[in-house]
Amino acid sequence: MGEWVPCNPSSKRVLERELSLNHGQVTSNNNKDSSQTNNISGGGLRERIAARAGFNTPRLNTENIRSNTDSSSLRSPCLTISSPGLSPATLLDSPVFLSNPLAQPSPTTGKFPFLPGVNCNRLSYSDKEKDEFFDGVGASFTFHPVSTSSSSFFQGAGEMTPVDYGNYNNSPSHQSPEEDLKLGSEQSGLKRKSSDATTNTNDHQEVEEGEEEEQRGGDSMVGGGAPAEDGYNWRKYGQKLVKGSEYPRSYYKCTNPNCHVKKKVERSREGHITEIIYKGAHNHSKPPPNRRSGMQVDGTEQAEQQQRQQQRDNAGTWVSSNNTQQQVGSNENNGEEGGQYESGDGYGGVIMVDALSTFSNDEDEDDREGTHGSASLGYDGGGGEGEGDESESKRRKLEAYATEMSGATRAIREPRVVVQTTSDVDILDDGYRWRKYAAQTQHYQEPPRGRFERQLTANNQSQFGRPFSFQPHLGPPSGFAFGLGQTGLGNLSIPGLAFGQGKLPSLPYQYLSQPGGMSEAMMRRGMEPKVEPGSETGQSVYNQIMSRLPQI
């Protein structure tokens, strides 16, 4: 498997430095003036989206986020969605991810409430306010930091020492990995509790319990629990430590007898979900939360969905997923609709939630050289074309090595967005120069896929001196990936990414119906690809996501 897993613990360090945090645009220079960077030209994406979708996206003052330079607390979560069909827009149109009027009502709507009284125009908040925010967010928003120790990478998976999460637990909202596992396992039946009883308060309580469990040596679910809740029931049928991955990979099947959807979940030793990959499409609706294990759905609905399924199903490929959703670190309270990436058109995807190393942001250029240099090891030092034929494992090793070499001095990691599109053309004809620095081939009839990185000039780089990259691939349904290495957000919890009220603004519904996935649709529809230095699609998605986060 592979290349479409840009945020795995090893590659994440290579790929993470891509995104500007200002959702308005990727600015040309390292951000010096947030007011500048938060502004976009009159024809900016934000405005255009607003015009199209009929809403405005709030601005996120990333400067303040970045100003939190306590490196020990800086975590760079990485959320990667890498799958065909599950485009950023798809994700963003999730009932919990979007403020999309078209999105179906979700029990979790409102689960990501911006702090009451929090004025998004405010640029700074007290620690208490931040804590309150995180506290409120914690139950529904989880970015899982993963090992940030570059040295740990070289340790065997079974030899890894406990990761120092620094201030990771500082936030009262912190939802421990064990908590996520517990929640997931609860839903999967491993630890069954009353889902109805789960509240945000309970979430926090369980966080503590989870941490206690970890301190007691962890329970059996660490590293092996059910994947985060996504509304469906899953049965684990295998686990394997795959080469090139630090963490074991678990294999799950949908428990619905007529559903052949599978998903692979990689967790760190600490239980953090580092990768989720879907395969196939659910041909049934999500079971009600109170009978999650019932696996019975309305026959009519199922028939309809099966019909749709037959039209879309790419059985045999992990790339094609249909109506797959995933939430990470969810809680029961999210319910069947909540906290999920609802693939409006039924296309699914992969979501990897990860944390990125924390490195210094004042070495962006170096880091870019370093991290991407690590990737460069995969293409060539001279910035030439990619050599996609390098084996995944080898490439990962190279990346890891380069990361190791470059990451030690890093204190802050910045977000990265990797977007997979359906074809290279999607990337290459956007008016910018792209260089292919990696390519992948997968079994399961998936065409080769490459990673493209924008070749940026001095004035054509992200706010943080980080290029925005695309991860296109050839062939049917594409996915996308984006990393959130946002400083200071490492403590965020997004169980199910249930942004709730903070649902991200949706993209036009028309994109939901694009057979090739919205990412492609968006690309082809020319979502102002030339406005931003980075990928418009991915950037806009990311911007939308970030725009939903309160200004801290």
Partner DNA sequence: AGCCTTTGACCAGCG
Partner DNA sequence: TCGCTGGTCAAAGGC
Query: Which residues lie near DNA (CB under 7 A)?
Result: 1, 185, 188-191, 220-221, 224-226, 233-240, 242-245, 249-253, 255, 262, 264, 279, 293, 318, 392-393, 441, 443
Shortest Å, Cβ 248 to DNA: 8
What CA–CA distances, in Å, run from 306 to 312, 342, 513?
Answer: 10, 17, 17
Mind giving me the DSSP string for 139-158?
A: TTEE-------GGGGGS-TT
Shortest Å, Cβ 221 to DNA: 6
Tokens of 157: 């998976």
Nearer to DNA, 316 or 383 (CB): 316
Q: What are phi and psi of 128, to 5 degrees?
A: -65, -45
Shortest Å, Cβ 42 to DNA: 46
Nearer to DNA, 32 or 243 (CB): 243
Nearer to DNA, 192 or 433 (CB): 192
Shortest Å, Cβ 507 to DNA: 30
Shortest Å, Cβ 253 to DNA: 7
Nearer to DNA, 123 or 242 (CB): 242
Mind giving me the DSSP string for 457-511?
A: -TTSS-TTS---EE--BSSS---EEE----TT-TT-EEBTT--GGGPBPPPPGGG
Shortest Å, Cβ 223 to DNA: 7
Tell me how many degrees the CA angle 207-211-214 measures, rounded to the nearest 5. Answer: 145
Nearer to DNA, 267 or 372 (CB): 267
How do the residues of the chain divide into helix, strand and coil, expressed in percent and rounded to 5? Answer: 30, 15, 55
User: Residue 18 CA to chain centroid, in angstroms?
Assistant: 14
Measured over the CA atoms of residue 382, residue 383, residue 387 and residue 393, the dihedral's sign is positive
What CA–CA distances, in Å, run from 26 to 296, 411, 532?
Answer: 46, 21, 6
Shortest Å, Cβ 488 to DNA: 33
Q: Are 248 and 267 in contact (CB under 8 A)?
A: yes
What CA–CA distances, in Å, run from 223 to 152, 181, 246, 347, 533?
Answer: 17, 8, 12, 28, 39
For the chain, the C-alpha Rg in angstroms (whole number) is 20
Mind giving me the DSSP string for 320-342?
A: -EES----BS--GGGTTTTT---
Shortest Å, Cβ 301 to DNA: 20
Shortest Å, Cβ 176 to DNA: 17
Nearer to DNA, 28 or 250 (CB): 250
Nearer to DNA, 185 or 462 (CB): 185
Nearer to DNA, 135 or 266 (CB): 266
Nearer to DNA, 131 or 275 (CB): 275
Helices (H) and strands (E) in the chain, counts: 15, 14
